[in-house]
Amino acid sequence: MIWDKLTSLTKLLPGEASHQLALATLSLGMHPRYSPVQLPGEVAGLHFYNPVGLAAGFDKNAKVMAGCFALGFGSVEIGTVTPLPQPGNPKPRVFRLPEDNAFINRYGFNSHGMEVVALRLSKWRSFKVVGQTLGVNIGANRASKNKIEDYYIACSRLAGLVDYVSINISSPNTIGIRDLQKSGSLEKIIESVKYALVEANLVKPIFVKLSPDLNKKELFHAIEIMVNEGVSGVIMSNTTVSRFGLKNMKNREQDGGLSGEPLFRLSCEKLSEAYSFAAGKIAFIGVGGISTASDAYTKILLGADILQLYSSLAINGPHIVNQINTGLVKLCLGEGLKNLKEVRGIFNSFDKANQYAEHAANKHLKNDSLSSF
pLDDT per position as a tens digit, 119-133 = 999 999 988 888 899
pLDDT per position as a tens digit, 250-301 = 999 999 999 999 999 999 999 999 999 999 999 999 999 999 999 999 999 9
- pLDDT score at 309: 98
- Catalytic option among 171, 291, 294, 311: 171
* CATH number of the domain bearing residue 309: 3.20.20.70
Q: Which domain holds residue 60?
A: 2-372
pLDDT per position as a tens digit, 99-118 = 999 999 999 999 999 999 99
Distance between CA 326 and CA 201 in Å, rounded?
A: 39
pTM of this prediction? 0.96
Distance between CA 225 and CA 216 in Å, rounded?
A: 14
The total number of structural domains in the chain stands at 1
Q: Is the pLDDT of residue 10 over 80?
A: no
Of 92, 109, 111, 79, residue with least CA distance to 15: 92
Mean pLDDT of 57-85: 97
Catalytic (active site) residue 171: yes
Distance between CA 75 and CA 48 in Å, rounded?
A: 7
Q: Is the pLDDT of residue 173 over 80?
A: yes
pLDDT per position as a tens digit, 190-242 = 999 999 999 999 999 999 999 999 999 999 999 999 999 999 999 999 999 99
